A = this chain, B = another copy of it.
Amino acid sequence: MYVFNTASRQTDAVGALHHLPATPNTVHWGYFDASIKPALRVRSGDLIRAEAVTHHAGDDPDLLMDDGIREIFTKIPEEDRNPGVHIMTGPIFVEGARPGDMLEVRYLAMRPRLPYGSNLAANWGYLYKEFDERERVTIYRFDDATQQAEAVYAYDYPGKYLTPGKMFRCPECDRQSALPGARVPCRPHLGTAGVAPAVNGRVSTIPPGAHGGNIDNWRIGANARMYYPVAVDGALFSIGDPHISQGDGELSGTAIEASLDVLFQVIVRKDFQFPSPLLETPGEWIVHGFDEDLDLAMRGASLDMLGFLTEQRGLSRNDAYSLMSVAADFAVTQVVDGRQGVHVRMPRSVFPPER
């Protein structure tokens, strides 16, 4: 009855392990581009240990940078960081991946590279006007033992935060205490990851879409599997925009932005298709809708979940609609001006055990 189940998976075999460090030669800043020379070539089933570097490391270069990160910020000129903002590691060419396939990415582990991250109340944040159009940085420290973060200090950002990767050292005297006693539960995840769209030239990393991109769902962490529709030969998969935590909505415009080391496996799937990035966690199936308008993002997510339940799980349209009303949870993934995201989560326990 069910088209999409674990038994139909082509392979659980693990291939070779590759290491992909983030260097000026293995990152592309602000864009996906199908014409970039691959930073790595792998086979379906291979494991990749890769570095994802935050483009917010300049918010406190002393705490958020090491030599490897600093080299990226100093060697890649500002004029080559566009049209988006995220530092993307890759692309990874996966042999055998063809347009029409799905690229399954099994995220296995995500660890902070340095124990610090930055949250920016940004000019693109949801309450920017309510905060008198001021921007502010709050630096957080990650505690590995508790998997919690606490604020270290905050400062008002001088000027407007427009150039990706600008470095600014806030003088000690301008640092303010922040969130005394508060501890944020950590959810290390990738804010942006995806395959190259079939487009000539650069595609901004900022708007999410069928290729993945800047989805900002904190559930894209260890133990999650993402399925991206492949658009070009080799898929050309890249990762970036690492976060140690954010809430659904990412209200201020950013998460706790912090570099992560990521271990994942890539698998080429030729046995099913899906029109948008599909997320599988141990407990849920999740689909995403994106639009400039929140209501239209909601509509997109609801129609894609309807498609998932009918095409991949064999339900009738009527059954799928009832099930979505009584069992699926809709949430606001992000609310940045011009790009709204809604996702919907269906518990896996609804369905009989997969054979």
* Residues of A bordering B, CB below 8 Å: 1, 119, 121, 125-127, 130-131, 136, 138, 140, 149, 151, 154, 178-179, 181-185, 245-256, 293-295, 298-299, 302-303, 306, 315, 317-319, 321-332, 335, 340, 342, 344, 347, 349-352
Contact = CB atoms under 8 A, between A and B. Distances in A.
Given A178-B319, A294-B294, A350-B184, A248 B331 contact: yes
A330 B331 contact: yes
Contacts of A335: 295, 298, 330
A312 to B, nearest CB: 14
A303 B130 contact: yes
How many identical subunits does the complex contain? 2
A196 to B, nearest CB: 29
Shortest beta-carbon contacts, A-B, top 3: A252-B325, A249-B330, A248-B329
- Residue among A245, A302, A332 with the highest chain B CB neighbour number at 10 A: A332
**What DSSP secondary structure best describes chain A's contact surface?**
mixed
12 contacts: A131-B321, A149-B326, A151-B322, A182-B323, A183-B349, A246-B325, A248-B330, A249-B302, A249-B344, A252-B321, A295-B335, A295-B340
Contact of A318 (B136, B327, B351): B136
Contacts of A351: 181-182
A270 to B, nearest CB: 27
Given A249-B324, A251-B302, 6 more contacts: A247-B329, A249-B302, A251-B328, A252-B322, A332-B332, A332-B342
